[in-house]
Amino acid sequence: MSERRYLLRTFGCQMNEHDSERIAGLLTSDGYVATEEAAEASVVVFNTCAIRENADNRLYGNLGHLRPLKQANPRMRIVVAGCLAQKDGERIQEKAPWVDVVVGTHALPGLLDLLHRAETEGPQMDISEVTEVFPSALPALREVRHHAWVSIAVGCDNACTFCIVPLVRGPQLSRPIGDVLAEVQGLAGGGVVEVTLLGQNVNTYGRDLTMPDSPRRPLFADLLRAVNEVDGLRRIRFTSPHPHDFTPDVIDAMASSDKVCEHIHFPLQSGSDRVLKAMQRSYRRERYLGWLDAIRQSIPDIAVSTDIIVGFPGETEDDFVDTLDVVARARFDQAYTFQYSQRPGTRAATMDDQVSKEVVQERFDRLVALQQAISLERMRQQVGTIVEVLVEGTGRKGRAQGRTRTNRVVHLDGDHAPGDFVQVRIAGAHPHHLDGKPVREPAAVA
């Protein structure tokens, strides 16, 4: 019999990429082999995201395309996993009854069981809200050898009014520090040189944990320091943090841990105090800028990226100008800009004064133009410097591509394999990447 194959499509954030490595690991452990062709797949998995606008329409579109294939091959199994599965559950089975398994974000460990049960019992669903096994503890099939995602916490205790995450991923649950360390040690032993610690709100890690025989909780700063001690590892990143929780102990731990990279993601969301309040973000514009200053004082060459939402309900032209003003003052290296979209179930979705599409688009374009100029200016400041690049693969036009510790993308000359560290002189700047030429390491003195 020919091999059983699976096709896995991942949408959304790094947390989903991490979970997809586990989905691939589980399927591989059950004897499946990956394919890119839906027609030859015996299992098709969509690992879905609920944040983007029209995510559900796109899912039903994809499921619609699969329907004739499933009719032609009734043994094909279709799985919907991830945040939309968690959020929409039965609705998916009602709208697309040819789906065999709906598996929520907490139920991933039971995926193979659900698939086996679907063989004899028909469509299955598990969207229970309790995580018994951390997804990181599952076998993973990682496509990249030198880098790994490590989940340190799931869920979020905040209640930003635009955000669907607390609804689909639940309250924060941190993974015991010993389990995280054991995983990172195992990864480093297997050749991984860079890890990204993952959580919806990483810097509140540990608040829900206790330590055996100690009244103290392990906190994010403790975790950074401990991971920094792991032999073989060279770079530590983390995402996503909340600006409010960049407490001085976290900044100290970053500054004093040589493997922790000089880059933070510092999501602003809006530069208007009125809008921040309506979003239920805990800080205001001046406080945010003050925190940013303090971080830059402690870690002078740190690169900063951010998320900004344009067109939150009730956002006026004055509010938007406040956002432009904070952007101009903050000098972000990169900004991920989003047009506000109504997510059913969130508080903001029912707020009055939804901003019209045309106004949102016009503001969005102004924001992107401003940030583009700032990104380019920040990139130009890098020209002439010599930086360490970790090669990730080959980019467009066949050139090697990698990242600096500050998370800047560099296209470089010469043949380099993924996982190589190369010293590079920066020769050119673009808004989203740099051009670099490798420099020779000084010859060792005999």
Which residues bind to ligand 5AD, rule: CB under 6 A? 51, 162-163, 267, 269, 307, 309, 338, 340-341, 343
Q: Look at residue 309 and give the partner it binds from ligand SF4, ligand 5AD, none, a contact being a CB closer than 5 to 8 Å depending on partner kind.
A: ligand 5AD
Q: Toward ligand 5AD, which CB reaches closer, 218 or 267?
A: 267
Q: Look at residue 310 and give the partner it binds from ligand 5AD, ligand SF4, none, a contact being a CB closer than 5 to 8 Å depending on partner kind.
A: none
Task: Provide, rounded to whole angstroms, the least separation between the CB of residue 337 and ligand 5AD.
Answer: 8
Q: Look at residue 343 and give the partner it binds from ligand 5AD, ligand SF4, none, a contact being a CB closer than 5 to 8 Å depending on partner kind.
A: ligand 5AD
Contact between 275 and ligand SF4 by CB under 6 A: the answer reads no
Binding mask 221-250 for ligand SF4 (x = CB under 6 A): ---------------------x--------
Q: Which is it for strands 33-34 and 5-10: parallel, antiparallel or unpaired?
A: parallel
Q: Toward ligand SF4, which CB reaches closer, 62 or 201?
A: 201
Q: Toward ligand 5AD, which CB reaches closer, 6 or 162?
A: 162
Is 282 within 8 Å of 327 (Cβ atoms)?
A: no
Span interacting with ligand SF4, options 114-122, 142-150, 154-162, 342-350, rule CB under 6 A: 154-162
Pick from 273, 219, 265: which is nearest to 240 by CA? 265
Q: Toward ligand 5AD, which CB reaches closer, 51 or 188?
A: 51
d(CA 298, CA 264): 13
Task: Provide, rounded to whole angstroms, the least separation between the CB of residue 341 and ligand SF4.
Answer: 14
Pick from 439, 440, 398: which is nearest to 415 by CA? 398
d(CA 240, CA 197): 9
Binding footprint of ligand SF4, residue count (CB under 6 A): 9
Task: Provide, rounded to whole angstroms, the least separation between the CB of residue 199 and ligand SF4.
Answer: 9
Q: Which residues contact 305 (CB under 8 A, 6 or more apart)?
A: 263, 264, 265, 266, 332, 333, 334, 335, 336, 407
Q: Toward ligand 5AD, which CB reaches closer, 283 or 421?
A: 283
Radius of gyration of the chain (CA): 23
Q: Look at residue 201 and give the partner it binds from ligand SF4, ligand 5AD, none, a contact being a CB closer than 5 to 8 Å depending on partner kind.
A: ligand SF4
Amino acid at 235: R
Q: Look at residue 268 and give the partner it binds from ligand SF4, ligand 5AD, none, a contact being a CB closer than 5 to 8 Å depending on partner kind.
A: none
d(CA 307, CA 370): 14
What are the tokens at 362?
A: 């016009």
Q: Toward ligand SF4, which CB reaches closer, 77 or 281?
A: 281
Dihedral sign (CA 410, 415, 418, 424): negative
Question: Which residue in 76, 156, 254, 326 binds ligand SF4 (CB under 6 A)?
Answer: 156
d(CA 160, CA 182): 33
Task: Provide, rounded to whole angstroms, the least separation between the CB of residue 182 and ligand SF4.
Answer: 26
Q: Look at residue 341 and give the partner it binds from ligand 5AD, ligand SF4, none, a contact being a CB closer than 5 to 8 Å depending on partner kind.
A: ligand 5AD
Paired with 434 in beta bridges are 410, 429
Helix (H, G, I), strand (E, B) or coil at 187: helix
Pick from 335, 325, 336, 331: which is nearest to 295 by CA? 331
Q: Look at residue 235 and give the partner it binds from ligand SF4, ligand 5AD, none, a contact being a CB closer than 5 to 8 Å depending on partner kind.
A: none
Q: Which residues contact 307 (CB under 8 A, 6 or more apart)?
A: 265, 267, 268, 269, 335, 336, 337, 338
Among positions 160-179, residues that touch ligand SF4 (CB under 6 A) are 160, 163, 165-166
Pick from 372, 348, 366: which is nearest to 271 by CA? 366
Span interacting with ligand SF4, options 129-137, 152-160, 213-221, 313-321, rule CB under 6 A: 152-160
Task: Provide, rounded to whole angstroms, the least separation between the CB of residue 278 and ligand SF4.
Answer: 13
Contact between 201 and ligand SF4 by CB under 6 A: the answer reads yes
Pick from 351, 371, 376: which is nearest to 432 by CA? 376
Contact between 151 and ligand SF4 by CB under 6 A: the answer reads no
Kindly list the distances between the CA atom of residue 303 and the CA atoms of 109, 270, 333, 408, in Å, as whole numbers in the listed order. 37, 19, 6, 8
What are the tokens at 345?
A: 């179930």
Question: Which residue in 200, 334, 375, 406 binds ligand SF4 (CB under 6 A)?
Answer: 200
Buried b (16+ CB within 10 A) or exposed e, 337-367: bbebbebeebbbeeeeebbeeeebeebbeeb
Question: Can you give the binding site for ligand SF4, defined by CB under 6 A?
Answer: 156, 158, 160, 163, 165-166, 200-201, 242
